[in-house]
Amino acid sequence: MVYSLPARASCLLVSFLLLASACGTRAPYLNPVTPGTDSSTGSPQVVVEIKPVDTSGFRNEERERLGIDLSAYFTAFEVTVRNQTPDTVTLEGQGAQLLDDDRKPYAVLSADESLDYYRSGGISGEKIVIVPKTVGVAKEEMDKILQLRLKNADIPPGGSGYGILLFQKVPTDKCHQVSLILNGVHITGENQNREFKFTFRCPES
């Protein structure tokens, strides 16, 4: 026997299936392979600290602190840049790149790209909006994403900059040698940006 569904019911079913797929795919947990702190050569220095964001699990402290379950939508890293030089350090929020096992590059998401990726449930290339939230909750979380993102900043001597780099989720089968390259750090008076590199891996299954 063959059953048919009204067009509206079919659309709802498709949306539900997409939603179920999105909810079941989270960013893999990443462990640092190299130290989570890197310094520029010479003295005084620019010090960069990187920490993978993991908001998975029930009553997760990171999720409570940040106010949003970032791991459901992004591969994310907290970044702190401390300026220990006598000059101003310029930090470019878009100056970062992620490489997976296949050395496939992931560009850091812009503000608009981050919101689009959130609306799609963290599914790359998905054009259907499937965010399972009320309008109020969705707006609150999108505001939080914009607030947390690493932004361009001029860091004075002795100061620090902070924010979160947001990327499309690295697949769980491509996360055994993940490199994060931060090259958006520039010291006033120098002719080139400083580059900082960090390596991560997901736990063996």
**176 closest CA partner among 145, 142, 205:** 205
pLDDT digits (tens, 9 = 90+) for 26-75: 899 999 997 767 666 665 689 999 999 999 888 889 999 999 999 999 99
**31 closest CA partner among 2, 12, 51:** 51
pLDDT score at 120: 86
- d(Cα 123, Cα 116) in Å, to the nearest integer? 10
Q: What is the pTM for the complete model shown?
A: 0.82
Where do the domains of the chain lie?
Answer: 7-201
pLDDT digits (tens, 9 = 90+) for 70-112: 999 999 999 999 999 999 999 998 989 999 999 999 999 999 9
- The DSSP letter of residue 183 is E
Cα–Cα distances (Å) from 169 to 66, 159, 192, in that order, read 18, 31, 30
pLDDT score at 177: 94
DSSP string, 25-47: --PPP-EESS-SEEE-SSSS-EE
pLDDT digits (tens, 9 = 90+) for 133-148: 788 899 999 999 999 9
**Model confidence at 204, in pLDDT bands (50, 70, 90)?**
confident
φ/ψ of 152, rounded to 5, equals -60, 140
